[in-house]
Chains A and B, each alone.
Chain A
Amino acid sequence: MEWQALWLSLRLSFWTTLILLAIGLPAAYWLTFSPRRWKFLVEALVALPLVLPPTVLGFYILLAIGPHSPAGRLYAALTGGMLPFSFQGLLVASVLYSLPFAVQPITSGFAAVDRKLIEASWCLGVSRAATFFRVIVPLSIPSIVTGMILSFAHTLGEFGVVLMVGGNLAGITRTVSISIFDDVQALNYSAAMHTSLLLLGISFLVLAATYGLRRRVWAVWPIN
């Protein structure tokens, strides 16, 4: 079994989840509360990775971050490195690929917050930003945690996008799912089986935690 690949996948999932938390909260806030009519277009854009084949998504990301693209040139100018076939490139791809898994649960959580509580906060003189952190986020904790867990699990299991953008470089871009593919190609079934079983276990635990948490909507209210 490839511990290096597993460690890489966990690192990738961790950073992807963290970045998605930072992007997901404001994105979900905008999607929930913006009065813009055309926000359904943004909603569709965010949901695109759910239906797009990972190869298609990976291909476009590869083009977008390639050395001849504006983003690629900017990155090269800033860091001297290249995004494709690097951990950072993989991170960019993972964030885009898991975006709906973070944004959608958080959006539905925000939408479920009673509008009157938000208005009560405004009338008490508390700014919109402070209301977000003092009312909306605390009341959406289960949804936010769900979004984070799903992002983590989804990144852990991604394959197609990783292969397109990162290739298969040991310790840099060879994630656990690619190592399984490699093992099977090399007819090393026992290693593939071990890794697969581990991934299955982790995924099940993560999902069980998610659904357990969802059931307890009242979990935000302390029990005494």
Chain B
Amino acid sequence: MADQLDVEVRKRHPGGPEIAAVLRLPLGKPSVMVLFGPSGAGKTTVLRLIAGLDTPDAGFIRCGHEVWYDGARGVRLAPQERRVGYLSQDYALFPHLTVRGNVAYGAHGHAIHEVHDLLARFELGEFADRYPRQLSGGQLQQVALARALAAQPRLLLLDEPLSALDAPTRLRVRGDLRQLLAGVQVPAVVVTHDRNEALALGDSIAIMIDGRLRQAGAVESVFDCPADADVAAAVGVETICPARVISRSAGLVTVEIAGARLVAVDTAGGSSDVFVCIRAESVAIERNPSGNPTSARNRLPARIVLVIPEGPLARVTLDCGFRLTAMVTRQSEEEMHLCEGQEVTAVVKATSIRIVPRVY
């Protein structure tokens, strides 16, 4: 229990929803936890509570053996005493200080000598005497990270570290950030609402919806196996439909959605009312409405409702009695001459369908 960040807090802003979060982050090895959820879910509030910039209504925050906050015992450490590197969304660099001045701002004692090394490591040496307004978005982020690390934090809190960047920069910086977080011996909590960012940066993930922590675990497992329909929607599963279980056998379940039948691996835990969750990239489209269903594959007659190009891919909305979204490459879209109103067959593997219980 000792070497982990242990957070269990409740906080209600006047007029807002109650935020309740339970987080555990191991501090021993460098690990990155992604706090993921839609905008307004309370992710930033959780970071601010951990940093000490806001005070919880109740609960506790412990970091290793240190108690940062304990509502019952009236303990509340100031942000200065927590040694947390907090990066706000827009980086909040001091406009009246140079890059060097910014990075050296929180460094004291022998850490002053490391400022030079940090500037070199972030490739900011040649910009050391410039002011923040003279830098690009990617450079600003590097300065903010260097500034946070110069103060020798025991924990990094990054609030949407890439959201202030334009798309091409974001892709490049995302890779750099991953390397950096793996390189520094400081565990981090990263807030994001972008699935690709979560996959690229996180070792573990915690999904937050409407102020509540809904699911936590390894990134891949949470994305692939959302615990309920809300989490599935939050992690961007395109098709989420209520369905009824018809039969169960040998670990497989057959469900019915608006007349269509699907076979899936049974993960609903015995519920008869379920949600069917299908990722668009798991749905293939075949031109000829023919062939027999096998045990592994579901083949559904479908009509194309909408085709939307998305870069190298195309998002196809199908009507199979229910709305099913498929993602195909532009190449196959053109080869099959997919167009609206066309009759096709949608193919989904039984293992690609996630069945979650419907809870009221």
Residues of A within 8 A of B (CB): 114, 116-117, 119-127, 134-135, 138-139, 220-222
Contacts and interface: CB of A to CB of B under 8 A. Distances in A.
B92 A114 contact: yes
Contact of B131 (A123, A138, A222): A222
Given A116-B88, A222-B131, A122 B94 contact: no
7 contacts: A119-B53, A123-B80, A123-B84, A123-B148, A124-B105, A139-B95, A220-B96
B interface bracket (residues with beta carbon within 8 Å of A): 20 to 34
**Considering the complex of A and B, which 3 residue pairs feature the smallest CB-CB distances, nearest first?**
A124-B106, A116-B92, A120-B92
Nearest to B147: A124
Contacts of A122: 52-53, 78-80
B106 A126 contact: yes
B106 A125 contact: yes
Nearest to B98: A222
B133 A123 contact: no
B85 interface: yes
B330 interface: no
B86 A123 contact: yes
Interface of B: 51-53, 78-80, 82-86, 88, 90, 92-96, 105-106, 108, 131, 133, 147-148, 151
A221 B51 contact: no
A119 B88 contact: yes
A101 to B, nearest CB: 25
Given A122-B53, A123-B53, A124-B151, 4 more contacts: A114-B92, A120-B92, A123-B85, A123-B106
B92 A221 contact: no
A12 to B, nearest CB: 33
A119 B92 contact: yes
Contact of A221 (B82, B93, B95): B95
Given A121-B105, A125-B80, A135 B51 contact: no
A199 B84 CA distance: 55
Contact of B151 (A119, A125, A127, A220): A125
A165 B131 CA distance: 51
Interface centre among B51, B78, B90, B92 (most CB of A within 10 A): B92
